[in-house]
Homo-oligomer: A and B are copies of this chain.
């Protein structure tokens, strides 16, 4: 393990896949798994899996493979999922509301803790057991609750402004569902996830 290497995004994106797979094995009372087996089940090269994992430490046992419970614990810790991660969401349209509900029965560590909307008619509504708050309340909430992650589900035209406000408040990681590029300082991480763009790309394969 080289402590000072930059870890590629593409590796980070595979870690939750590994974790989910391990949780499935765990539910089936499987105690150990080899990179070969993982590769078969996940359609990945075993060498790639070993290389990914070895970046973070020597988690395996030669001749035996990986202990499922050990490895999932390590991965959870690497990803920071061993603690609760508070998330705010801005934009309570259909998609935003769906994510708030979805959130409730999913991953226990990543949790939407508060929801905001700039439109007065939305404020005060209840979505997924949360009451929608006005945008003016966002900064205080983010700071008082040390929220670092935000989800944007507003229309395209509003996305940049919301991102700016989030960053101003102290958010450093943004999941953007608006179909538009948002510009952020280099210390802020943005992940775009946009159905329209995905469908358009998939259209090529028809």
A positions within 8 Å CB-CB of B: 12-13, 15-17, 19-21, 41-43, 78-81, 85, 87, 93-95, 97-99, 101-102, 106-107, 109-110, 148-149, 172-173, 175, 179-181, 189, 191, 193, 195-206
Contacts and interface: CB of A to CB of B under 8 A. Distances in A.
A81 B200 contact: yes
A19 B106 CA distance: 34
Number of identical protomers = 2
Contact of A196 (B21, B42, B94, B106): B106
Contact of A204 (B21, B78, B98, B99): B78
Nearest to A128: B94
Contacts of A17: 181, 197
A43 B198 CA distance: 19
Contact of A85 (B95, B148, B206): B206
